[in-house]
Chain A
Amino acid sequence: MKGLIFDIKRYAIHDGPGIRLTVFFKGCPLSCWWCHNPESRSPRPERLIKTVRIGEKEFQREETVGRQYSVSEVMELVERERIFMEQSGGGVTFSGGEPLMQAPFLLALLQACQEQGIHTAVDTSGIASRAAFRRIIPYTDLFLFDLKHLNDQKHRLYTGASNRLILENFRMIADSGVDIWARVPVIPGYNDEEEQLERLHRFLRENRRDNIRQLNLLPYHPIDAKYGRCGIEWKMGQLEPPSRERMATLQQFFADTGIKALIGG
């Protein structure tokens, strides 16, 4: 079985516990304005034109983003990194794009990892059928689950989809007992207004389970240059990242949900 992958990052240290190998699936049902991986959106390989320089001389080079990997190809890389995973309590993270868009391939990889005794994390937008989630839950040790906006209208506007299915899936996974790290991007002026924060706070409080291990507040970073290369419109303008103080305030705000709030991660 093969799947479309646009990058595999070794020594990934922000995608779950320990030192990890992160496999980025290509293709995503959402189109978040602030997405860090715009090249992951299309579920097909893409050709990009890159301008490179040697000294004064500039060239155009064509690059293909995305290639088909077999399960065993991915597992060979996993095996290479295993020593670091074992030393650090790390593992493999499947990210994207949306890994559940290639659910059978994801399932095969998760099963292969479990067979090898390797810790697995799935970094998901939450957009996938309940059935797809149900199938992978037994083979997943940790979900990194994005909560982008609690207001459905705004969620539709900024991401192109409703948040209803996302929130349902979140509850289902929370009830399943599998570990969750809830991840909230902090986009100043987009999802950090008082009302949204209150709703998020309430949602987390209401759905609090012991297996929701932490809340990661991820500060926005402008990455407009990448959008130019991919030919995708950058809608965020000159938005400044949230200040350190602002992030600290938010961390404080979520402190009493009973879930450990962290900046970054």
Chain B
Amino acid sequence: MELTKRVHQLRTQSLQAVEHITAERAILITEFYQSPASRNLSPPVKRARAFEYLLRHKHICINEGELIVGERGPAPKATPTYPEINLHSLQDLEVLDSREKVSFKVEGSVKQAYQQQIIPFWQGRDNRSRIMAAMPPEWHAAYRAGIFTEFQEQRAPGHTVLGQKLFHTGFLQLKEEIRQSMEQLKEHSDPNAPSKLEELKAMDICCDAIIHYAVRHAETLEQLAKKEKSITRKRELQAMSAICRRVPAHAPRTFHEMLQHYWFIHLGVITELNPWDSFNPGRLDQHLFPLYQHQIDEGSLTEEKAFELLCCFWVKFNNHPAPPKIGVTAQESSTYTDFCLINLGGVKDDGSDGVNAVSYLLLDVIREMRLLQPSSMVQISRENPDRFIHKALDIIRTGFGQPSCFNTDAIVQELVSQGKDITDARRGGASGCVEAGAFGTEAYWLTGYFNLPKILELTLYDGKDPRTGEQVGLPAEPAAAFSTFDALMEAFTRQLRYFADIKIRGNNLIEQIFAQQLPAPFLSLLIEDCIRNGKDYNAGGARYNTSYIQGVGMGSITDMLAAISFHIYEKGTFTWAELLAALDANFEGFESLQYELLYCSPKYGNDDEKADRHAIRVFDLFHDAVAGNPNSRGGVHRINLLPTTSHVYFGSVTGATPDGRGAGKPLSEGISPVQGADRQGPTAVVLSAAKLGHLRTGGTLLNQKFSPLFFEEEGSYEKLTALIRAYFSLNGHHIQFNVVDADTLRDAQKHPELHQGLIVRVAGYSDYFNDIGTALQEEIIQRTEQGGMG
């Protein structure tokens, strides 16, 4: 199917729009917090009134020709700030404006508003200041050293996905549910009734606010219709106006209504706060299919029209870059992508094949739109046909990094083994980069990346950070005294547990801060069972509440341990003293030793027990240090293994390592092998990766690079499908293929202007090659080109 003229124009507008900061939201929220109306309100009601104020006063933006309406800012890519979460300084605004990558234009008027109104009010009152003040010194020491990052430092938690219920429920219905929940409270004597009533009142305000926001769109559309000269467009505008009067107040009845319904919800979530992973329609093909089928049968919708509507919907996501990030947060997640990962395929409630006509239609949309946002993935179950995978490969082979491939059967097992209901698990999927969750019922918060290789480095240096000399970790025996390999592992385990505990304690404090200070009553309407529990999403109101710590550098630490074990304890190639001297010198003058480490050591990713057993051990240690520890929302902590761009940041703070890696160089990403260390091809990589306990995680990330030539050969789809199916039958969680040759990437580095549209797979998401830093560019070039087609 081809893009219509309208879609072409909208797509071009989106691509050409420049990311810029709008002060609109910051000014409105400041106005509200300064107004008398904001005083003497409970935290949830205050947030609800703030939400209402924002939606009442923000500019209504309708772009020419569009069929799905609503923008977070006053124009496409006009990106708001959230001073109550993170107050940007004037210097931050300068950095955002001038930095080379992921920059945002900042007009003088924005700086002026910040200087005169926003900074004076929020100085010292934003949540970031609150969090930093609440963290103990050992947390700060670890954070500074780059042991871990903190996700909630500049953004609200979020990390969730819309479930089936809200696609079939209007907000008037939710108001009724709120009323019933209030009734229940009156009937039973609940000691928490007063705070629950406040929460429910806040939710109710939010229902009215979002309905009214849609009505404002309806009114603007009517005015536009009156002025419109073209009869066709006039009719469209009138129809759109009617839709905005219908949804989200009522449940959608048509394909078009459902898309608009979701989009208002999406806008509500990302206007209320700046939650991670923005928001996500989740299993879009499952939600749309019944209406699609009905309307096609009835003759009120054609495949072409549905395609066009979906394209218009796609543009909306691309118009919304991730809110601006600075400092460590910018380094760990350096991208405009806001991680809305749309799921296709998978299984239905009864476990049978969920692939339907809309799944294929959406694949067409992804292929033809070729936009950075939204991200997309295919859920692949044993139940799904090969044809579905082949259709996905048609897009993957073009080197666009989408869709990525996920194992439905593993995700369902992961969720069920965490104690979730089987239907909730089957309605789930993966969001963000690779995170498994029960859509519509779970708050699964990522809390920060965790630098496993850095902890081993500290272990070797007596708990001191060799980069700064600071005593960050526990004082331990000097490395020279590690009489056995097990003694080293014991020392490492002590440090690992020490830092995991610091992180977990910090998480629990931060969760409480959000629960008390920054409830999200609008988001709470969307995730079950917040209404029934009378409890905010940020306070544990969801049916399932999980906190994740994301391990980084699994390949790197495995190769570090394998080299130490092999050379020092097994072969006696060199001594501890020699190794440490080489690391201190960043291998200068020790090149022959570095060669041994790089080329004559067992490496993870080659299905070699000598290396892989260390991966299994580190995985178990990390898992046991984190998993099961309670969070403050009634759930527990769990692990997953993904990096976004933190492997570059973590590498930059880590010195030379015993795997032969030079100081400051990126670590391995996800559970992929160290860049270039996999020399046995993808089957060996997959077998190494499958040895980890995927089902005990909430997601792992495996990237594989393929040469485009591979796809030209007869039978290549079948062979790749077999590789995916085999990995998934071994419980592998996710695999993604980056299809681009190294020459193209090198050329893009030299002539970025000639490769403006070049999108590559980074780690769990795709990005413009030109927008990622040089270190990451180099790292991607280095990742092994698999398939022997070079």
Cβ contacts under 8 Å, B721 to chain A: 87
Give chain A nearest CB distance to B605 CB in angstroms: 12
Set B599, B719, B729: member contacting A19, Cβ < 8 A:
B719
A54 x B683 contact (CB < 8 A): no
Set B587, B599, B607: member contacting A80, Cβ < 8 A:
B607
Cβ contacts under 8 Å, A84 to chain B: 683, 722-723, 726
B713 x A264 contact (CB < 8 A): yes
Residue of A nearest to B730 (CB): A83
Decide if B644 is an interface residue (CB 8 Å cutoff).
Answer: no
A83 x B726 contact (CB < 8 A): yes
Known: A13-B719, A13-B787, A80-B607. A59 touches B729 (CB 8 A): no
Main secondary structure of the interface of A (DSSP, over half): mixed
Decide if B598 is an interface residue (CB 8 Å cutoff).
Answer: yes
Residues of A1-44 whose CB lies within 8 A of B: 9-11, 13, 17-19
Cα distance A155–B51 when bound, in Å?
A: 84
Known: A10-B684, A83-B726. A55 touches B714 (CB 8 A): no
A59 x B719 contact (CB < 8 A): no
Set B591, B684, B713, B719: member contacting A57, Cβ < 8 A:
B591
Cα distance A13–B592 when bound, in Å?
A: 35
Cβ contacts under 8 Å, B594 to chain A: 54
Chain A: residues with Cβ within 8 Å of the partner, total of: 25
Cβ contacts under 8 Å, A87 to chain B: 721-723, 725-726, 729
Residues of B699-727 whose CB lies within 8 A of A: 713-716, 718-719, 721-723, 725-726
Q: What's the count of A-B pairs with C-beta under 8 Å? A: 72
Tell which of B598, B687, B713, B722 has the most Cβ of chain A within 10 Å.
B722
Interface 1/0s, chain A 41-56, versus B by CB < 8 A?
0000000000010110
Cβ contacts under 8 Å, B726 to chain A: 83-84, 86-87
Residue of A nearest to B679 (CB): A10
A55 x B591 contact (CB < 8 A): yes
Cα distance A87–B682 when bound, in Å?
A: 14
Cβ contacts under 8 Å, B730 to chain A: 83
Interface 1/0s, chain B 579-616, versus A by CB < 8 A?
00000000100011011001100000001000000000
Cα distance A54–B600 when bound, in Å?
A: 13
Cβ contacts under 8 Å, B684 to chain A: 10-11
Cβ contacts under 8 Å, A17 to chain B: 715
Known: A52-B599, A83-B726, A87-B722. A10 touches B681 (CB 8 A): yes
Cβ contacts under 8 Å, A19 to chain B: 683, 719, 722-723
Decide if B423 is an interface residue (CB 8 Å cutoff).
Answer: no
B683 x A10 contact (CB < 8 A): yes
Set A18, A81, A83: member contacting B719, Cβ < 8 A:
A18
Residues of A64-110 whose CB lies within 8 A of B: 80-81, 83-84, 86-90
B681 x A11 contact (CB < 8 A): yes
B718 x A59 contact (CB < 8 A): no
Decide if A265 is an interface residue (CB 8 Å cutoff).
Answer: yes
Give chain A nearest CB distance to B585 CB in angstroms: 13
Residue of B nearest to A214 (CB): B714
Give chain B nearest CB distance to A128 CB in angstroms: 28
Cβ contacts under 8 Å, A61 to chain B: 595
Tell which of A87, A89, A265 has the most Cβ of chain B within 10 Å.
A87
Give chain A nearest CB distance to B696 CB in angstroms: 21
A18 x B681 contact (CB < 8 A): no
Cβ contacts under 8 Å, B599 to chain A: 52
Cβ contacts under 8 Å, A88 to chain B: 718-719, 722-723
A11 x B683 contact (CB < 8 A): yes
Cβ contacts under 8 Å, A52 to chain B: 595, 599
Decide if A262 is an interface residue (CB 8 Å cutoff).
Answer: yes
Cβ contacts under 8 Å, B723 to chain A: 11, 19, 84, 87-88
Cβ contacts under 8 Å, B681 to chain A: 9-11
B722 x A11 contact (CB < 8 A): no
A59 x B592 contact (CB < 8 A): yes
Give chain A nearest CB distance to B383 CB in angstroms: 16
Cα distance A193–B682 when bound, in Å?
A: 39
Cα distance A182–B569 when bound, in Å?
A: 51
Cα distance A13–B682 when bound, in Å?
A: 11
Cα distance A52–B681 when bound, in Å?
A: 22
Decide if B223 is an interface residue (CB 8 Å cutoff).
Answer: no
Give chain B nearest CB distance to A118 CB in angstroms: 15
Give chain B nearest CB distance to A208 CB in angstroms: 22
Residues of B747-790 whose CB lies within 8 A of A: 786-788
Interface 1/0s, chain A 189-213, versus B by CB < 8 A?
0000000000000000000000000
B680 x A10 contact (CB < 8 A): yes
B591 x A80 contact (CB < 8 A): no
Give chain A nearest CB distance to B154 CB in angstroms: 38
B591 x A59 contact (CB < 8 A): yes
Cβ contacts under 8 Å, B595 to chain A: 52, 54, 59, 61
Cα distance A115–B723 when bound, in Å?
A: 24
Residue of B nearest to A17 (CB): B715
Cα distance A90–B713 when bound, in Å?
A: 16
Cβ contacts under 8 Å, A264 to chain B: 713
Cα distance A17–B598 when bound, in Å?
A: 34
Cα distance A17–B722 when bound, in Å?
A: 12
Cβ contacts under 8 Å, A89 to chain B: 718, 722
A265 x B714 contact (CB < 8 A): yes
Cβ contacts under 8 Å, B587 to chain A: 54
Interface 1/0s, chain B 222-257, versus A by CB < 8 A?
000000000000000000000000000000000000
Cβ contacts under 8 Å, B687 to chain A: 80
Tell which of A9, A52, A59, A88 has the most Cβ of chain B within 10 Å.
A88
Cα distance A22–B586 when bound, in Å?
A: 39
- 9 additional A-B pairs beyond A19-B722, A52-B599, A59-B591, beta carbons within 8 Å, are A10-B683, A11-B680, A11-B681, A13-B787, A19-B723, A81-B683, A83-B726, A83-B730, A87-B726
Could you list 8 A-B pairs, sorted by A, with CB under 8 Å? A11-B680, A18-B719, A19-B722, A52-B599, A87-B721, A88-B722, A262-B714, A264-B713
What are the nearest 9 A-B pairs in CB distance? A88-B722, A11-B681, A87-B722, A57-B591, A54-B591, A11-B683, A87-B726, A83-B726, A10-B681
Where the two chains meet, the residues of B that have a C-beta atom closer than 8 Å to any C-beta of A are 587, 591-592, 594-595, 598-599, 607, 680-684, 687, 713-716, 718-719, 721-723, 725-726, 729-730, 786-788
